[in-house]
Amino acid sequence: MLQRVFRFTAALALVGALSLPLGAAELPRASLGYIFTTHQEPIMVAMAKGEAFEPLGAYLKPVVDKERYDLFVDGAPVARINIVVTKSGSEMATLFAQNHLHMGLGSLPAMMSSVDAGTPIKVLCPVHTEGMGLVVAPDSPVVDWDSLLAAIRGGSKPYRIGYHSPTSAPKIVLEGALLEAGLKLTHDGADLSANVLLVDLKSTGNLAPALTSGQVDAWVGPDPFPAVAEVRKTGRTVFDLKELPPAGRWSSFPCCVAAARTDFLAERPEVAEGVVKLLAAASEWINENQAEAGRIAAQWIGIPEEATEHATIVYGTDPNEAWLKGAGVYLDVLNGMDSFKGSLKGKTLEEAIPLVFDFSFNK
């Protein structure tokens, strides 16, 4: 009986081994986190397209759909990637700090805050720019920046604006613009002296319900959620955050980036380089195939396809001069709000670059 069990177990092991790509049994394991938003469409499209991306030089071969993939670069297997879905950049930063995540896609402010707090990570490359909006109720009198300021200043109590994560790019951008307009902001619901009450709604899934229930007067968030609100008639987009004053300051602005723990980068540099190459290839494909990419993302996230038709997001992994300038604005805004308490406190962009970024894997 024991011999039959042993033979059966050995046969199963042989079948499993034969089903793996050459060398897969020795492939290094890595975890990669992402968030359910079209800001991170490149990784979703790469998972969905799978081996169809082989001609692009980097692709994912599914082991378990949406959960586990083998990363191939230039035809050779590089790593087995475990996919981790997170709710926000803040949650991703926590996973990095707890050493539960090797790599991840999240907002640049979240990664900056993580570095400032002492978490050993580096930002490897951008993922995209643009794609952030302010949403109000369909019948709200707010139609632009000026009418938003009028509603805020003319109210008898703080104007309530919701956000999904404390370190999300949309929240930081809007917060910076409101502060520059001379408004007093608070996170304390009991502070009635403030002009604006910023409300942490904890998740993108809570943005629309908070507005329709009257918990907030407006919310700020990433694509595709402003478009989804319009399609489902739960809200109306007042403006894209790139339109905020002063003109041009917030255009082509950074949002999501790819980051990784420094110990992982030292141990498995080829995996990090492969992931960046994959993101670059997927970004280029998306920019050239926007309609198909939009359909893939809509089905992946579970939103109406119509909500992806007018996306303003630009995907790419090049940390060019304009992108770095935007990173510097984040740094200044976060320092201006006294958000940094550690290594980035009071730092200029030039001083912060070696602390935050490592673009050597972006080849």
For the stretch 230-245, pLDDT in tens is 999 999 999 999 999 8
| Structure confidence at residue 15 as a pLDDT band (50, 70, 90) | very low
Helix (H) or strand (E) holding 275: helix 269-288
| Structure confidence at residue 25 as a pLDDT band (50, 70, 90) | low
Residues 170 and 211 in one domain: yes
SS3 content of the chain, % helix, strand, coil (to 5): 45, 20, 30
User: Is 5 part of any domain?
Assistant: no
Task: Give dist(CA 89, CA 116) in Å, integer.
Answer: 14
Residues 177 and 316 in one domain: no
Backbone angles phi, psi at 249, to 5 degrees: -65, -35
User: Is 167 part of any domain?
Assistant: yes
**Where would I find the beta strands (DSSP E) of 10-158?**
29-35, 58-64, 68-73, 76-86, 103-107, 121-126, 128-129, 132-136
Q: Where a domain ends, among 191, 212, 243?
A: 243
pLDDT digits (tens, 9 = 90+) for 98-108: 999 999 999 99
User: Is 12 part of any domain?
Assistant: no
Task: Give dist(CA 144, CA 189) in Å, integer.
Answer: 25
Residues 207 and 260 in one domain: no
* Amino acid at residue number 96: F
- pLDDT confidence of residue 128: 95
Q: Where a domain ends, among 243, 268, 300?
A: 243
pLDDT digits (tens, 9 = 90+) for 293-339: 999 999 999 999 999 987 889 999 999 999 999 999 999 989 988 99
- pLDDT confidence of residue 12: 35
| Length of the chain, in residues | 363
Residues 63 and 84 in one domain: yes
* Amino acid at residue number 156: S
User: Is 190 part of any domain?
Assistant: yes
Q: Where a domain ends, among 223, 243, 263?
A: 243
- pLDDT confidence of residue 22: 44
Portion of the chain with pLDDT greater than 90, in percent: 85
Residues 125 and 140 in one domain: no
What distances in angstroms separate CA 79 from CA 262, 285, 361, one per listed residue?
17, 22, 16
User: Is 203 part of any domain?
Assistant: yes
Report whether pLDDT(19) > 90: no
Cα 15–Cα 18–Cα 21 angle in degrees, nearest 5: 140
How many domains is the chain built from?
2
**Where would I find the beta strands (DSSP E) of the chain?**
29-35, 58-64, 68-73, 76-86, 103-107, 121-126, 128-129, 132-136, 159-163, 185-186, 196-200, 218-222, 236-240, 256-261, 314-315
315: region left, alpha or beta (phi > 0 left; psi from -120 to 50 alpha): beta
CATH number of the domain to which 137 belongs = 3.40.190.10
User: Is 2 part of any domain?
Assistant: no
Report whether pLDDT(84) > 50: yes
Average pLDDT over residues 156-173: 94
361 within 8 A of 269, measured Cβ to Cβ: yes
225: Cβ–Cβ under 8 A, 6 or more apart, which residues?
Answer: 37, 135, 204, 207, 208
Report whether pLDDT(20) > 50: no
Residue whose C-alpha is closest to residue 297's, from 39, 86, 58 = 39
Report whether pLDDT(21) > 60: no
What average pLDDT does the structure give for the chain? 91
Residues 87 and 168 in one domain: no
What distances in angstroms separate CA 138 from CA 27, 55, 180, 238, one per listed residue?
52, 46, 27, 10
Report whether pLDDT(281) > 90: yes
User: Is 1 part of any domain?
Assistant: no
81 within 8 A of 105, measured Cβ to Cβ: no
pLDDT digits (tens, 9 = 90+) for 28-58: 999 999 999 999 999 999 999 999 999 999 9
Residues 146 and 235 in one domain: yes
Please tell me whether the peptide bond between 246 and the residue prior to it is cis, using omega within 30 degrees of 0.
yes
Task: Give dist(CA 308, CA 223) in Å, integer.
Answer: 8
- pLDDT confidence of residue 253: 85
115 within 8 A of 343, measured Cβ to Cβ: yes
Q: Helices 41-49 and 290-301: crossing angle, nearest 10°? A: 90
- pLDDT confidence of residue 252: 78
Q: What's the chain's Rg over C-alpha atoms?
A: 22
Residues 137 and 125 in one domain: no
For residue 21, the tally of other CB atoms under 10 A from its CB is 14
Cα 81–Cα 87–Cα 88 angle in degrees, nearest 5: 95
Residues 35 and 123 in one domain: yes
Average pLDDT over residues 338-349: 96
Report whether pLDDT(24) > 70: no
Residues 69 and 109 in one domain: yes
Residues 31 and 122 in one domain: yes
| Structure confidence at residue 248 as a pLDDT band (50, 70, 90) | confident
> 55: burial class by Cβ within 10 Å (0-12, 13-18, 19+)?
exposed
Portion of the chain with pLDDT greater than 70, in percent: 93
User: Is 82 part of any domain?
Assistant: yes
Domain span including residue 31: 23-130+253-361
Residues 275 and 233 in one domain: no
Which comes out higher in pLDDT, residue 276 or 246? 276
